[in-house]
Structure 1
Amino acid sequence: MLIYMIFIIMFMFMIGNMIFVSKKKHLLIMLMSLEFIVLSLYFLLMLYLMNIMFNMYMLMIFLVLTVCEGALGLSILISMIRTHGNDYFQSFNLI
């Protein structure tokens, strides 16, 4: 049972990475795939900590850092939409 759950979580992680690498056009899709990757890592960390009978305080720290990462990503997305009008990377000049 545990092996199947680990396989599903690793499959989620790989799908999130494939979406992140293949969809470089929109910032919103990239942020969603990053959140999907973090969610799969959260599940994997939860299974690992439950398996070794460890405290779940690390999960709370991980969730706090995940929320901070999501808030930073949304603030970048909002500022990009306000300045350029869309979230395409093609219209965003890095120079």
Structure 2
Amino acid sequence: MKMIFIMLIMFVIGNMIFVSKYKHLLIVLMSLEFIVLSIFFLMMLYMSMINYNMYMLMIFLVLSVCEGALGLSILVSMVRTHGNDYFQSFNLI
């Protein structure tokens, strides 16, 4: 029960960082990865408690790695075109 509480605190802290630090893309991506990591640990604890197969965790891990690679490619292209990762430097037009 203690581990579930710690993982839920991790999830809440990741969400708070995601909401409060929205100026830099790198910090937003790091907080998203932190949220995915906490969800992975929660799923691992839950599936081990009910004695379920861990194949779903492998699929979740593959999708989270793909999400991280896409975010990193967006970050690299943004730094190459604009010179920084500030959201304020974008023009919507």
Q: TM-score range by the shorter chain?
A: over 0.9
In the alignment, which residue of structure 2 is the partner of 1:76?
74
Query: Structure 1 residue 92: deviation in Å?
Result: 1.2
How many pairs align?
93
Instruction: For 1:58-73, list aligned pairs within 5 A.
Output: 58-73=56-71
In the alignment, which residue of structure 1 is the partner of 2:28?
30
TM-score normalized by structure 1?
Answer: 0.96
Q: Which runs of 5+ in 1 are unaligned?
A: none
Aligned partner (choices 49, 52, 63) of residue 51 of structure 1: 49
Aligned partner (choices 78, 83, 86) of residue 85 of structure 1: 83
In the alignment, which residue of structure 1 is the partner of 2:38?
40
Query: Structure 1 residue 94: deviation in Å?
Result: 2.3
TM-score normalized by structure 2?
Answer: 0.98
Write out per-residue CA displacement over residues 27-54 of structure 1, whole angstroms, 9 at most, x where no aligned residue: 0000000000000000000001001100
SS in 2 for 1:6: helix
Counterpart-to-counterpart distance in 2, 1:7 and 1:94? 41
Q: Which runs of 5+ in 2 are unaligned?
A: none
In the alignment, which residue of structure 1 is the partner of 2:7?
9
